[in-house]
Amino acid sequence: MLLYNSATHQKEEFIPHQPGKVSMYTCGPTVYHFAHIGNLRTYIMEDVLDKYLRYAGYDVTRVMNITDVGHLTSDADEGEDKMLKGARREHKTVMEIARFYTDAFFSDCEKLHIRTPDIVQPATGCIDQYIKIIEKLLADGYAYVAGGNVYFDTSKLKRYYIFHDFEEEDLAVGVREGVEADSNKRNRADFVLWFTKSKFDDQELKWESPWGYGYPGWHIECSGISMKYLGEYLDIHCGGIDNAFPHHTNEIAQSESYLGHPWCRYWVHVHHLNTASGKMSKSKGEFLTVSLLEEKGYDPMVYRFFCLQSHYRRSLVFSWENMDNAAAAYNKLVARIASLSPAEGETVDEAGFAALKQRFTQALDNDLNTSLAVTALYDVLKADVNAATKQSLVADFDQVLSLGLLDHAAALNRKKAAEAATATAGDAPAAGGAGEEDPFTVEILRLIGERAAAKRAKNYAEADRIRAYLAERGVTLIDTKEGTTYRRD
Ligand code: AMP
Ligand code: ZN
């Protein structure tokens, strides 16, 4: 498989450190608010990568943190802790909002068929691990204490800017208008490993450390959690493109200085989802969440489908019109899958299956080209193979795409059957002379509809149960070409 590696700026053959095994780390959400659908684009694409590696036969271990402390309002070391701001906004404690938004995040993930990583670790649960790393960095001369905080000394590195070739002087990280640069830093790019002093004294969560009562910086969390669970050699580290700098750059600086050798081989960054007016935001304008999509009548699968239709290394523009187009295409796709009806005893054509599957794997092997993988799915529906082969390919591809295709197709068929049955039952002559309002007649007609739906869903046991139930009550069902009528004894 070829994967674009942001660290080398090129597509590379993916070769894990240990044959057959993949260690994968994902930067998790900062749980101070709901995730917006931009955040979730990143998690959807990472989910496809995770699932495709499993599909390709790798034994994947995936770890994700939950950022519940230390992520300041600027990704550099300025501003207030986002969690504290969130807690104040809602008049709750930091841990209360962490719990609430962590649950909300996983509920969104479930709706979008994003698999929960094997290990999910809140940052507040690994304080000892960060302290251990920081102690070694200090002992080895990579860190210094100034003004009560511990800083990483970027001047000790041969190469600090891994993902971009910045000129230090051009860089104004975190130094936004109204935010003063931290005068404790020896070099502009240095970053905080441990805070004991901050302009914001009301930080809620603090721990004892060799440098005083304080809290970890955001970057050390991901290095610490990753190394704790995945060891000294990491295969893949993922995140949104905004994480590349300074977050991932700082993770590499501290992890490799701590370990004394290269740490992570492949860096995968998902580009942003933007709105027509620019950056997606949690504070301005319409806050785009999965719940908002649902309120507006979109199935979350439509959003996943929308994401898969574009490449993860291109930024994607969200608009309601784009969602409508995605919904129309998704529904049409599901309808085509629903119309597949293998004949009794039809078997899968193995050669046809293998040829069509190859198009799918070729697409994903080429730097996770999901839009071509979706095209491979359309190729299946057009192909000259039997319905059983098509159905089985849809099921196979959907292990990776996770678009709920067969489930949605089955639901569509059930809905159609129920509608047809209702129409038939409605047309059925009200034999037996009882009036329309007679509750038993209403029940008979309802049951005739349900029985027709059960038969169409091939649930003959249920159909027979309904027939027997009515027979016991003196109602005989009569199946005709036009539908089912009845006779009351
Ligand atoms: P956060 O909750 O802010 O820590 O971000 C969670 C994830 O979403 C990170 O991997 C970010 O890089 C990613 N992210 C943030 N904004 C966007 C966006 N507009 N589109 C795609 N991913 C994003
Ligand atoms: Zn991270």
- pLDDT tens for 101-148 read 999 999 999 999 999 999 999 999 999 999 999 999 999 999 999 999
Is the Cα torsion angle 364, 265, 221, 23 positive or negative in sign? positive
Q: Which residues contact 455 (CB under 8 A, 6 or more apart)?
A: 417, 463
- The Cα angle at residue 258 between residues 198 and 216, in degrees rounded to 5: 20
Shared domain for 380 and 433, answered yes or no, is no
- The Cα angle at residue 269 between residues 263 and 166, in degrees rounded to 5: 75
Q: Which residues contact 158 (CB under 8 A, 6 or more apart)?
A: none
Q: Is residue 414 part of a domain?
A: no
pTM (2 d.p.): 0.85
Q: Is residue 206 part of a domain?
A: yes
DSSP codes, 217-238: -HHHHHHHHHHHHH-S-EEEEE
Q: Which domain holds residue 335?
A: 291-407
pLDDT for residue 177: 45
Is the backbone of residue 143 left (phi > 0), alpha (psi -120 to 50) or beta?
Answer: beta
Q: Is residue 132 part of a domain?
A: yes
Do strands 59-66 and 191-195 pair parallel, antiparallel, or not at all (unpaired)?
Answer: unpaired
Q: Is residue 280 part of a domain?
A: yes
> For residues 235 and 50, is the Cβ–Cβ distance under 8 A?
no
| Burial of residue 350, with CB atoms counted within 10 A of its CB: 0-12 exposed, 13-18 middle, 19 or more buried | exposed
Size of the chain, expressed as the number of residues it contains: 489
Kindly report which listed range (133-142, 209-218, 301-310, 373-382) carries the lowest average pLDDT score: 209-218
Q: Among 65, 106, 242, which residue has the most ligand 1 atoms within 8 Å of its CB, making it the best to mutate?
A: 242
Question: What is the whole-number distance in angstroms between the Cα of residue 464 and the centre of ligand 1?
Answer: 53
pLDDT tens across 206-255, in order?
A: 899 999 999 999 899 999 999 999 999 999 999 999 999 999 999 999 99
Shared domain for 24 and 169, answered yes or no, is yes
> Domain ends where: 290, 309, 329?
290
Q: Among 6, 42, 83, which residue has the most ligand 1 atoms within 8 Å of its CB, making it the best to mutate?
A: 42
Please identify every residue whose CB atom is under 5 Å from ligand 2, which is an ion.
Answer: 27, 222
* pLDDT of residue 437 exceeding 60: no
Helix (H) or strand (E) holding 428: none
Shared domain for 131 and 210, answered yes or no, is yes
DSSP codes, 51-108: HHHHHTT-EEEEEEEEB-S--BSSSSS-S-BHHHHHHHHHTS-HHHHHHHHHHHHHHH
Shared domain for 228 and 271, answered yes or no, is yes
DSSP-assigned letter for residue 116: P
Kindly report which listed range (83-87, 212-216, 293-297) carries the lowest average pLDDT score: 83-87
Shared domain for 78 and 161, answered yes or no, is yes
Shared domain for 255 and 309, answered yes or no, is no
Task: Give residue 361's identity as a one-letter amino acid code.
Answer: T
Measured by CA distance, the residue closest to atom 14 of ligand 1 is 39
Q: Is residue 441 part of a domain?
A: yes
Pocket-forming residues, ligand 1, beta carbon under 6 Å: 27, 29-30, 38-39, 41-42, 67, 239-240, 242-243, 270, 272-273, 280
- Report the number of distinct structural domains present in the chain: 3
**Separation of alpha carbons 179 and 450, rounded Å:** 66
Shared domain for 423 and 360, answered yes or no, is no
- Residue the block writes with tokens 């649950």: 103
Helix (H) or strand (E) holding 424: helix 405-427
pLDDT for residue 69: 82
pLDDT for residue 181: 73
Shared domain for 74 and 168, answered yes or no, is yes
Shared domain for 143 and 277, answered yes or no, is yes
Across the chain, mean pLDDT equals 90
* pLDDT of residue 350 exceeding 60: yes
Shared domain for 304 and 286, answered yes or no, is no
Output the domain CATH number for residue 229: 3.40.50.620
CA dihedral of 442, 446, 452, 457, whole degrees rounded to 10: 180
Task: Give residue 311's identity as a one-letter amino acid code.
Answer: H
Going by C-alpha positions, the residue among 391, 393, 395, 351 that lies closest to residue 376 is 393
* pLDDT of residue 457 exceeding 80: no
Shared domain for 192 and 306, answered yes or no, is no
Q: Is residue 413 part of a domain?
A: no
Shared domain for 182 and 229, answered yes or no, is yes
Question: What is the whole-number distance in angstroms between the Cα of residue 35 and the centre of ligand 1?
Answer: 8
pLDDT band at 302 (very low <50, low <70, confident <90, very high): very high
> Domain ends where: 379, 407, 435?
407
> Domain ends where: 407, 441, 469?
407
Q: Is residue 384 part of a domain?
A: yes
Q: Is residue 295 part of a domain?
A: yes
CA dihedral of 250, 253, 256, 257, whole degrees rounded to 10: -130
Q: Which ligand is nearest to the CA of 82?
A: 1
Question: What is the whole-number distance in angstroms between the Cα of residue 384 and the centre of ligand 1?
Answer: 42
